[in-house]
A = this chain, B = another copy of it.
Amino acid sequence: MQRVSGRRQQSAALACNNRPARVDPVNNRVTIVDVAARAGVAISSVSSALNDRPGVSEATRKRIVEAAHELGFVPSLRGRSLSSKRAFSVGLVVHRDPSVLESDPFFGSFIGGIETVLDAQNYALILQMGSEKIETLERYRSLAANRRVDGVFLSELGVEDPRIPLVEELGLPAVGVNAEPDFPLPAVRQSHVEGIRELVDHLVSHGHRRLALVTGPTEFIHAGQRLRAWSEAVAAHDLAPGEVVEGDFTYEGGVAAASRLLTDRAPDERPTAVMCSNDLSAIGFLARADELGVRAPDDISVAGFDGIALGSYIRPSLSTIATTPRLLGVEAARMLLAAIAGERVDDVDIAPARLLPRGSTGPAPAHS
């Protein structure tokens, strides 16, 4: 290593060995000054050249790029941050129970999708978890207070979600995920009305007439959205809306819903087909139904919503409406970066969630 020790100087140009780029172990890193010296230009030119800004001739640009490469120059994120008033990272605050990531496929894939986009632009994702709602809000606030992030994702939106006024007040770029139509910020959405309609069609065409729905907690907007889509689809077949039970997206919620809908009832008073608002609760529903001697798909048809891997493993395998969280993440990230860049960003609708019929749904029981 012939690098001069101590602080680097203009003399860096002397170290003309053509070694490949190499990161210094300790903090003695190569800066824009070194590159400028080596290329024999001013640092402002280096900056312009490396950021593809006009005002640099092609010849010098090439020389600068070469010098940068030879020295293994990596622009300091810190200097950049301070100067350009950007953090080069975006935030996602997960505001549910810490055990969410355990069983919820959404965030894993969603984050995966986000990553692919961020990475390409040298942005990073800061993940925070808050179990309490209040705490979550505080998280957003502090994230914004020291400008640790340039923007945030708003997922799992609630009705009257306090995060919306918050980010507006803070002037923090944000994009919503599966937001309501009147959402005041850019949003990416995956429609579920098609999938739900397909499911209802599927069920009705198999002779089902007594349908029921297990919703999510009504504080989340998608509970209402799915309820509405369901009601419309059912009404389109001139059927009664059927029972609606509020669940909570958990396995136990599904169990409770099954108990509620299936115990102390004559078979012809039970629904013959049930849609649960997510796969996990559908799986709970199936388990409890089985315990109660109500078999799927013979005695009852059950469908979920999400398309988690586990659903294809259980027996009977779970019919579901498959969403594409990864794609949602990709689009959300793209939009957020655009918003941060100050571009006008339009809402995006990705391909709707579709019915994925599997083993847990089938013909209605004959005697019904």
Chain A interfacial positions (CB closer than 8 Å to B): 23, 25-27, 29, 74-79, 81-82, 85, 87, 89, 98-103, 105, 107-109, 111-112, 115, 119, 122, 124-129, 131, 139, 141, 143-148, 169-171, 251-252, 255, 283-284, 287, 290-291, 308-310, 313-315, 326
Chain B residues near A100: list those with CB within 8 A: 108
A236 CB, nearest partner CB in chain B, Å: 34
CA of A108 to CA of B314, assembled, Å: 23
Among candidates B98, B111, B171, B290, residue contacting A112 with C-beta atoms closer than 8 Å: B98
Chain B residues near A313: list those with CB within 8 A: 251-252, 255, 283-284, 287
Chain B residues near A77: list those with CB within 8 A: 87, 146-148
Among candidates B105, B126, B129, residue contacting A102 with C-beta atoms closer than 8 Å: B105
Chain B residues near A144: list those with CB within 8 A: 23
Chain B residues near A131: list those with CB within 8 A: 112
Given A101-B101, A315-B287, A76 and B147 touching (CB < 8 A)?
yes
| A77-B146, A103-B310 given; 8 more Cβ-contact pairs under 8 Å | A23-B141, A74-B145, A101-B101, A112-B129, A119-B128, A119-B139, A124-B126, A284-B313
CB–CB B124/A125 < 8 A:
no
CA of A105 to CA of B108, assembled, Å: 11
A contact face: mostly helix, strand, loop, or mixed: helix
CB–CB A74/B146 < 8 A:
yes
Copy number in the complex reads 2
User: What are 11 sample pairs from A and B whose C-beta atoms fall under 8 A apart?
Assistant: A23-B170, A27-B85, A29-B147, A76-B147, A77-B148, A78-B81, A99-B309, A102-B309, A103-B308, A111-B129, A251-B309
CB–CB A111/B124 < 8 A:
no
Chain B residues near A82: list those with CB within 8 A: 76, 78-79, 81-82
CB–CB B101/A115 < 8 A:
no
CB–CB A127/B127 < 8 A:
yes
Minimal Cβ-Cβ distance residue in B for A131: B112
CA of A85 to CA of B87, assembled, Å: 15
Chain B residues near A122: list those with CB within 8 A: 146
Among candidates B98, B112, B145, B283, residue contacting A108 with C-beta atoms closer than 8 Å: B98
CA of A322 to CA of B143, assembled, Å: 34
CB–CB B103/A99 < 8 A:
no
CA of A78 to CA of B147, assembled, Å: 8
Chain B residues near A125: list those with CB within 8 A: 126-128
A316 CB, nearest partner CB in chain B, Å: 11
Chain B residues near A109: list those with CB within 8 A: 98-99, 101-102
Among candidates B115, B141, B251, residue contacting A128 with C-beta atoms closer than 8 Å: B115
CA of A79 to CA of B108, assembled, Å: 33
CB–CB B76/A146 < 8 A:
yes
A24 CB, nearest partner CB in chain B, Å: 9
Chain B residues near A308: list those with CB within 8 A: 102-103
A107 CB, nearest partner CB in chain B, Å: 6
A-B pairs, top 10 by smallest CB distance, nearest first, are A101-B108, A98-B112, A102-B105, A25-B171, A77-B146, A78-B82, A127-B127, A78-B81, A74-B145, A102-B108
CB–CB A314/B326 < 8 A:
no
Minimal Cβ-Cβ distance residue in B for A315: B287
Chain B residues near A284: list those with CB within 8 A: 313
CA of A79 to CA of B255, assembled, Å: 53
Minimal Cβ-Cβ distance residue in B for A109: B98
Minimal Cβ-Cβ distance residue in B for A290: B315
